[in-house]
Chains A and B, each alone.
Chain A
Amino acid sequence: MEAADSRERQARDYLEKHRIMELLRHLTSVLLFVRPEKPREYLISQLERLRIAKETGVAFPFFLDNSNIVAMFEIMDSSNKGSISFVQYKEALKTLGLCKEDEVLKDDGHAITLEKFRNEVNKRTQEIWLAF
């Protein structure tokens, strides 16, 4: 059983290190959103783009670009006061898959503004891409 446990741990560490689950989640979402005629070819083209971007250091093809982030912020900030509460911010990050369930985010007492939200989302997405 020892060997089985350690191999399982090894497998989990591998998934963590290369952020495989996030990558697969992103690929599945893109597939379901675009719904190409030939899923395999489309997946291959996406992975090729990722590989080239990683090698040449060009900006990654983000799934969530600036306009989407603004739109999401505006949905949450229904009363248009320019900031969202901490709870909303945490929920949004969880929905985007950018933070895990039990990660503790510090609540500095101020409400989160659009700038801060956008920076945080970009920063986390960058972290994930760098691991590929």
Chain B
Amino acid sequence: MDATTAPHLIPPEMPQYGEANHIFELMQTMLEQLLIHQPEDPIPFMIDHLHRNNDNVPKIVILGPPASGKTTIAMWLCKHLNSNLLTKENLIAREFSQVPEEAKWNHQGLKTVPNSLLVKLIQDRLHEKDCSRRGWILDGIPETREQALMIQTLGIAPRHVIVLSAPDTVLIERNMGKRIDPQTGEIYHTTFDWPPEMEIQNRLMVPEGISELETARKLLEYHRNIVRILPAYPKILKVISADQPCVDVFYQALTYVQTNHRSNAPFTPRVLLCGPVGSGKSLQAALLAQKYGLVNVCCGQLLKETVANESKFSELIRPFFEKEVAVPDNIVMKVLTQRLSQQDCIQKGWVLHSFPRDLDQAHLLKSLGFHPNRVFFLNVPFDSIIERLTLRRTDPVTGERYHLMYKPPPTVEIQARLLQHPKDSEEQVRLRMDLFYRNSAELEQFYERSVTLNGDQDPYTVFEYIESGIINPLPKKIL
């Protein structure tokens, strides 16, 4: 067989390094920038891009009907993420503040700014240093499809687009209570968001154009336009209902903006499932292995197989099995290392469960170089576990396994002869659960980026949660 056509044996450190340092995303953003700007001299351009290091700055667009609270949300996000806010008003004010034209624009109520001028202002502003360093938030721009397309052609693409939505009647009513603080520009509301300080209250002015008729007209305009803007941002769009308290809207927006989207990076899942006995780990591992082609490694099963296979380890392990004592850690580690270093595990990824059981085992696993990239803790309350395990029965004649609640035996005759495994008695289950919970706090601390799931649901729901945990990037820790 020709050496050059055999599959390449890539050492596992390479994909691990790639995942940990997000190399794929780094290269992808660099390529995107190269294609957008197409510089004559790519190398200096790439050097500048790498120096700037602004792949993860916020690039947000917030859209929504009048009185939905976009400006408030935009301002709060700006303060929280330490970014720059761009609205139509402040773009124009920056540009024309030195020119006496400003008075003319203000007088006309900023209604007739031509699209090309606005887009040019946006482009210039975004090229300034602070925007490239700290990111930007566009409030209420683009207003029409034409503007959206123009911005896109210039290569300005947001990473997150938030659209606020609420029923029209709510908005019209809300707009009647709108008040503006002329000094800070912040927007308050007579019912929902009244400032506590007396001096601000005295300053507040009623803005123009908030009568019912005005608002209805603006809403009509908005609805006409928004339908044609939304398809421009298919995968990065999120609609948040504005018909809830401001703080809730803000928190939803903040969490969304801080999540990364699914990336196309190559990813070999190395999943660790932890949970007390009866939480469904083996079932979930089997489902994962079946759907994604991962290798299902169950520690207990692996040891039994080794004993049966009569390999060199079987001699070591057999006495422990016969005496029904737990096999010592170092032997388990040797068997596990052998299994996990096999080619199919490295290439396809693995799902490990019922190991590690305590902190020492976790340290051992780490020292051998097996780092799981997703860790899940399945939480099931004690009563559910008792219910799941103590009702298990086996039919001694056919070998079929039943469960008195979830999979009852079909006939009374079978039911009469069912037997229970001594391991499934209540005291045994209680013992094993206590053993797990004694160590679980340490394990959760050790695997910092683990995901905790509610295991007390039907298997397919739990499976979907696990899937979304694997496919989506790990949630960032909120600072």
* Residue B406, interface by CB 8 Å: no
Query: How many chain A residues touch B (Cβ–Cβ < 8 Å)?
Result: 32
Partner of B35 from the list A11, A43, A50, A51 (CB cut-off 8 Å) is: A11
Q: Which of B283-335 contact A (CB under 8 A)?
A: none
Q: Which of B26-64 contact A (CB under 8 A)?
A: 26-27, 30-31, 34-35, 38, 42-44, 46-47, 50-51, 53
* Residue B23, interface by CB 8 Å: yes
Closest to A28 in B: B27
Residues in A neighbouring B14, C-beta threshold 8 A: 32-33, 35
Q: Are A23 and B42 in contact (CB under 8 A)?
A: yes
Beyond A11-B38, A24-B30, A39-B26, whether A32 also contacts B18 by CB under 8 A is yes
Q: Are B30 and A40 in contact (CB under 8 A)?
A: no
B1-34 to A contact mask, C-beta < 8 Å, 1/0: 0111100000001100110010100110011001
Partner of A76 from the list B4, B44, B46, B47 (CB cut-off 8 Å) is: B4
Residues in B neighbouring A15, C-beta threshold 8 A: 35
Beyond A24-B27, A39-B26, whether A95 also contacts B4 by CB under 8 A is yes
* Residue A14, interface by CB 8 Å: yes
Residues in B neighbouring A24, C-beta threshold 8 A: 27, 30-31
Q: Are B2 and A76 in contact (CB under 8 A)?
A: yes
* Residue A48, interface by CB 8 Å: yes
Q: Are A44 and B42 in contact (CB under 8 A)?
A: no
CA distance A113 to B44 in the complex (A): 39
- Give, as a whole number of angstroms, the nearest-CB distance from A58 to chain B: 15
CA distance A124 to B337 in the complex (A): 43
* Residue A88, interface by CB 8 Å: yes
Residues in A neighbouring B38, C-beta threshold 8 A: 10-11, 14
Most chain B beta carbons < 10 A, residue from A33, A40, A47: A47
Partner of B23 from the list A39, A54, A95 (CB cut-off 8 Å) is: A39
CA distance A54 to B41 in the complex (A): 11
Partner of B42 from the list A18, A28, A43, A91 (CB cut-off 8 Å) is: A18
Q: Are A47 and B47 in contact (CB under 8 A)?
A: yes
Q: Are A91 and B23 in contact (CB under 8 A)?
A: no
Residues in A neighbouring B13, C-beta threshold 8 A: 35
* Residue A78, interface by CB 8 Å: yes
Residues in B neighbouring A70, C-beta threshold 8 A: none
Partner of A51 from the list B17, B30, B44 (CB cut-off 8 Å) is: B44
* Residue A99, interface by CB 8 Å: no
Partner of B5 from the list A14, A28, A54, A91 (CB cut-off 8 Å) is: A91
Residues in B neighbouring A62, C-beta threshold 8 A: none
CA distance A40 to B25 in the complex (A): 12
Residues in B neighbouring A64, C-beta threshold 8 A: none
With A14-B35, A35-B14, A91-B4 already in contact, 16 other A-B pairs whose C-beta atoms are closer than 8 Å: A11-B38, A14-B38, A20-B34, A20-B42, A23-B42, A32-B14, A32-B18, A40-B26, A44-B47, A47-B47, A54-B43, A75-B4, A76-B2, A76-B3, A88-B4, A91-B5
Interface residues of A (CB under 8 A from B): 10-11, 14-15, 18, 20, 23-24, 27-28, 31-33, 35, 39-40, 43-44, 47-48, 50-51, 54, 75-76, 78, 87-88, 91-92, 95, 132
